[in-house]
Amino acid sequence: MILVTGGAGFIGANFVLGWIAATGEPVVSLDKLTYAGNLGNLASLAGDARHGFVHGDIADRAAVQRLLAEHRPRAIVHFAAESHVDRSIHGPGAFVQTNVVGTFELLEAARGYWMELAAEERERFRFLHVSTDEVYGSLAEDDPAFTEETPYAPNSPYSASKAASDHMVRAYRHTYGLPTLTTNCSNNYGPYQFPEKLIPLVIANALEGKPLPVYGDGRQVRDWLYVGDHCEAIRVVLERGRPGDTYNIGGNSERRNLEVVHAICDALQEARPREGGYRALVQFVKDRPGHDRRYAIDAAKIRRELGWAPRESFASGLAKTVRWYLDHGAWVAQVKSGQYREWLELNYAARSAA
């Protein structure tokens, strides 16, 4: 079996669901269940003997040690993280605690567990750390895409905390020999994404006839990766990746933020027409402090060495995503709690229309 941290979050839950469907191998999910962790994401596995859930914190080393001793996983897949740039600007401490301290405590627990394994089990064990392209900083319009060799240059408290966790993972491989793998992905989208991120936020606001906030001029560029493709790539890296290596995972889908918002508006207009259309709801607002201009992933290494490439285009992945949110209105209503509304007020109310 394997242990997945952050298994009730957006990418973690998609990974757990996809893992069991693809492999049938048992999974234990560990999740602190902060605002973005939602057991409803794993509801389809209720009663499935192949899945177990543990409510816990990766920063609680003793609890993780007990979990490892009880379940004896052959691998740890580490998704658990604070991941929203705007939240990191308002409250960076939580990002340091979870992403830096939490990863350190998890590494220490994993190292102790791994060292006590029998030789054959030690050889097979893997610690896969899931990170982000934001650790590489910002690109100019004509710069080449990020590769695994791009120097780190994080620009937000979020990306700095993830960069720190990446460095810790690298150090545990170099110093202790722990068989680690690191993946750095581009912007994910798809089912179960908490509606603070761009795509689900725009879908939710549009369906309620609310303004669709676009930072600055909306010309920031991101590479978009459908979450199902990302999860498949992680399975491939876990199976065939070389310990100590890093693999960049991208969707080959660079888009400006405003293009993404317009594409969502058009998809919604086709599926659920609105008088005047959804584009009329777009509102330019004050930009995020230190907003990185462009991210782009060069995924040539994982394609060349492990044979992975994304299956979804941006158009096909977005169509699936919009349809999922239209079909799961109850899920959206459930996650949009009072805490969520308070967050929207904190982050957007002070941003006057540009």
Give the whole-angstrom CA distance, residue 160 versus residue 17.
30
Name the phi and psi angles at 78, rounded to 5: -105, 95
Distances (CA, A) of 300 to 147, 234, 256, 309: 8, 15, 22, 9
If one counts every other C-beta atom within 10 angstroms of the C-beta of residue 211, the result is: 14
Opening angle at CA 321, ends 184 and 221, nearest 5: 50
Span between the terminal Cα atoms of the chain, in Å: 51
Place of tokens 């995924």: 299
CA distance 245 to 125: 15
Report phi then psi at 245, rounded to 5: -90, 160
Using CA atoms, how far residue 164 sits from 31, 76, 155, 281, 290, in Å, is 21, 19, 13, 39, 19
Indicate which residues carry an active-site annotation: 133-134, 158
- Written in H, E and C, the secondary structure of 253-267 is CEEEHHHHHHHHHHH
Q: In what order do the strands lie in the sheet with 254-256?
A: 187-189, 221-226, 254-256
Q: State the Cα torsion 88-89-92-98 to the nearest 10°.
A: 0
**Count of alpha carbons within 13 Å of 183, Cβ hemisphere only?**
26
